[in-house]
Chains A and B, each alone.
Chain A
Amino acid sequence: MDLKKINEFLWEIPPWGKMKVPARIYASASLLESVQRDRTLEQAQNVATLPGIIQASYVMPDAHQGYGFPIGGVAAFDEKEGIISPGGVGYDINCGVRLLKTEYSGSDLKPRLAALMSGIFQEVPAGVGKGRKTKLGMAVLDEVLNRGAEWAVDSGFGSGDDLQRTEEYGRMKEANPGVVSRRAKERGLSQLGTLGAGNHFLELQQVEEIYNQPVAKRFGLHSVGQVTIMIHCGSRGLGHQVASDYIRMMEDTFGTKHLVDRELVYAPLQSSLGKRYYQAMCAAVNFAFANRQMITHWVREVFKRILGSSQGIEMIYDVCHNVAKFENHLLEQQKRRVCVHRKGATRSFGPGRPEIPDCYRDVGQPVIIPGSMGTASYLLVGTNEAEKLSFSSTAHGAGRVMSRHEALRRFRGEEIKRNLEKRGIILKSTSWKSVAEEASAAYKDVDEVVRTSDAVGLGKLVAKFSPLGVMKG
Chain B
Amino acid sequence: MEKFRFLPHTADAMFQAFGRTLEEAFANAALAVCQLMWKPEKVKPAREKVVEVNGRDLKQLLVAFLEEILFLFETDDFILAKVEDIQIERQESPPGYQLRAKFRGNRIKDEDEIFGEVKAITYNEMEIKETPGGVSLQVVVDI
Binding site for B on A (CB under 8 A): 38, 64-67, 71, 91-92, 128-130, 183, 186-187, 189-191, 196-198, 236-237, 240-241, 243-244, 247-248, 251-252, 262-263, 400-406, 430-434, 437, 473
Contacts and interface: CB of A to CB of B under 8 A. Distances in A.
Contact of B74 (A65, A67, A237, A243): A237
Interface string B1-27: 000001111111100000000000000
Contacts of A400: 10-11
A372 B23 CA distance: 40
Interface string B68-83: 0011011101010000
Interface stretch (B84-92, B97-105, B112-120, B128-136): B112-120
A67 B123 CA distance: 8
A65 B54 CA distance: 29
A261 B142 CA distance: 18
Contacts of A237: 70-71, 74, 119
26 contacts: A38-B10, A65-B10, A67-B122, A67-B124, A91-B119, A91-B142, A129-B37, A129-B38, A129-B114, A186-B71, A186-B75, A187-B71, A191-B74, A196-B119, A197-B116, A237-B119, A244-B63, A262-B123, A263-B122, A404-B9, A404-B12, A405-B7, A405-B8, A405-B9, A430-B114, A431-B116
Nearest to B59: A262
Given A198-B117, A405-B8, 18 more contacts: A38-B10, A65-B10, A65-B11, A67-B142, A71-B11, A91-B119, A128-B114, A129-B38, A129-B77, A189-B75, A237-B119, A240-B142, A251-B56, A263-B122, A402-B10, A403-B10, A405-B9, A433-B116
A259 to B, nearest CB: 11
A236 B37 CA distance: 15
Contact of A128 (B117, B120, B123): B117
Most chain B CB atoms below 10 A, which of A92, A183, A198, A401: A198
B110 A91 contact: no
Interface residues of B, number: 37
B121 interface: yes
A404 B13 contact: yes
B143 interface: yes
Most chain A CB atoms below 10 A, which of B6, B11, B37, B75: B11
Q: Considering the complex of A and B, which 7 residue pairs feature the smallest CB-CB distances, nearest first?
A: A129-B114, A431-B115, A197-B117, A240-B120, A433-B115, A403-B8, A91-B120
B44 to A, nearest CB: 16
Contact of A64 (B11, B60, B73, B114): B11
Contacts of B71: 183, 186-187, 237
Contacts of B108: 129-130
A240 B117 CA distance: 12
A396 to B, nearest CB: 13
Contacts of B142: 67, 91-92, 240
A287 to B, nearest CB: 14
A249 to B, nearest CB: 11
B124 to A, nearest CB: 5
Contacts of B77: 129
Contacts of B120: 91, 240-241, 243-244
A129 B56 contact: no
Nearest to A196: B117
B105 to A, nearest CB: 12
A431 B124 CA distance: 27
Given A402-B10, A405-B13, A130 B114 contact: yes
A67 B10 CA distance: 12
A91 B122 contact: yes
A402 B112 CA distance: 28
Contacts of B75: 186-187, 189-190
A250 B9 CA distance: 26
A252 B74 CA distance: 26
A187 to B, nearest CB: 5
A401 B74 contact: no
A278 to B, nearest CB: 19
A244 B124 contact: no
A66 B143 CA distance: 12
B16 to A, nearest CB: 13
A431 B13 CA distance: 17
A186 B37 CA distance: 20
A406 B8 contact: yes
Interface in B31-81: 37-38, 56, 60, 63, 67, 70-71, 73-75, 77, 79
A187 B77 CA distance: 11
A404 B12 CA distance: 7
